[in-house]
Structure 1
Amino acid sequence: MKPDYKLVAKAKYIHTTADLASELWHEVYKRYYPAKQLDTLVEALQSAEAIEEDIDNDVNYFLVFLGDKLIGYFAWKMENTVLHLLHLYLKPEYRGKAIGRDIVMSCERLARGEGRGRVCCEVHTKCLPVQQFFKARGYRILKPVENAAAGISMQLTEMEKML
């Protein structure tokens, strides 16, 4: 069964995305941030209000369904010559099943179709399996990126693939 992607536009789906983001961010990042910092990051970056603001700034969020099961979400934004893949999160039991690969390939096809020459993403520097996931798909590491949200430092690594 192939996953379906549902564009997040209505308030109901924005709240569903925020709830899922909170669940997944707490699972993924608990080893890198103390609980209170993680709560603050989720509130600042993936709350319903933050997602709505992103959407107002041309970020496209999609919920990922397998049948009737909500299994993840992703988001991207087109800028100049690049598609920025901003978020890609799947529930743990759906990782390693080629769903993430298919989402990345869909984003790459979209970027090519829109005349963009590359896809970029930022990955937490300590998330080595995620970096390996992107390297296996032809992405290369560009540079470390020091980013802060709500006063909390986030160590990220920028990666890109030329199309």
Structure 2
Amino acid sequence: MKPDYKLVAKAKYIHMTADLASEVWHEVYKRYFPAKQLDTLIENLQSADAIEADIDNDVNYFLVFLGSSLIGYFAWKMENTSLHLLHLYLKPEYRGKAIGRDIVASCERLARGEGRGRVWCGVNAKALPVQQFLKARGYRSLGPAESEGGIERNELIFERML
């Protein structure tokens, strides 16, 4: 069965995305951040209000369904000469099943179709499996992300030229 992508536009889907983000982020990032800091990050970056603000700023969120099961989400934004893949999260039991690979390939096709020359994303510096996943798809590390508003992001930037 191939996954379906549902564009997040209505309030119902924004809240579904925020709930899923909280669930997945707590699972993924609990080893990298203290609980209170993680809760603050989720509230600031993936709450319903934050997702709605992203959508208002031309970020495209998609829920990923396998049949009737919600299994993940991803988000991207077109920028000058690139597609910025902001989020790609799957529930643990759906990782390693080529779903993430297919989402990345879809984003690359979209970027090419829109005349963009690269896809890029930020990855937590400690998330070695994600870095390996991207390297296996031809992405290269450009080094650490710049801090935003004085906040150190502890991310590495990865890109693939198309």
Check whether TM > 0.5: yes
Query: C-alpha separation between the residues in 2 aligned to 1:119 and 1:35?
Result: 31
Give 1:161's aligned residue. Answer: 160
Give 2:117's aligned residue. Answer: 117
Query: C-alpha separation between the residues in 2 aligned to 1:133 and 1:121?
Result: 12
Give 1:33's aligned residue. Answer: 33
Gap change, CA 1:148 and 1:35, over 3 Å in 2: farther
Cα drift, residue 146 of structure 1: 4.1
Q: Report runs of 4+ in structure 1 exceeding 3 Å deviation.
A: 146-149
The answer to whether the 8 Å contact 1:37/1:152 transfers is no
Partner letter of residue 95 of structure 2? Answer: R
**Identity rate of aligned residues, in percent?**
81
- Match status 1:106 vs 2:96: no
Partner letter of residue 8 of structure 1? Answer: V
Partner letter of residue 132 of structure 2? Answer: Q
- What SS does the corresponding residue of 1:32 show, helix, strand or coil? coil
Cα RMSD of the aligned pairs, angstroms, is: 1.2
Cα drift, residue 116 of structure 1: 0.3
The answer to whether the 8 Å contact 1:4/1:65 transfers is yes
Partner letter of residue 159 of structure 1? Answer: F
Cα drift, residue 154 of structure 1: 2.5
Query: C-alpha separation between the residues in 2 aligned to 1:152 and 1:16?
Result: 28
Tell me the number of residue pairs that the alignment of Structure 1 and Structure 2 aligns. 162
Cα drift, residue 148 of structure 1: 5.0
- Match status 1:42 vs 2:42: yes
**1:21-49 deviations in whole A, cap 9, x for unaligned?**
00000000000000000000000000000
Query: C-alpha separation between the residues in 1 aligned to 2:117 and 2:84?
Result: 11
- TM-score normalized with structure 1 length: 0.97
Gap change, CA 1:27 and 1:55, over 3 Å in 2: same
Cα drift, residue 16 of structure 1: 0.4
Partner letter of residue 102 of structure 1? Answer: D
The answer to whether the 8 Å contact 1:41/1:152 transfers is no
Correspondence list, 1:15-34, <5 A: 15-34=15-34
Query: C-alpha separation between the residues in 2 aligned to 1:74 and 1:81?
Result: 20
Decide which structure has greater strand share.
1
Query: C-alpha separation between the residues in 1 aligned to 2:30 and 2:37?
Result: 10
The answer to whether the 8 Å contact 1:111/1:118 transfers is yes
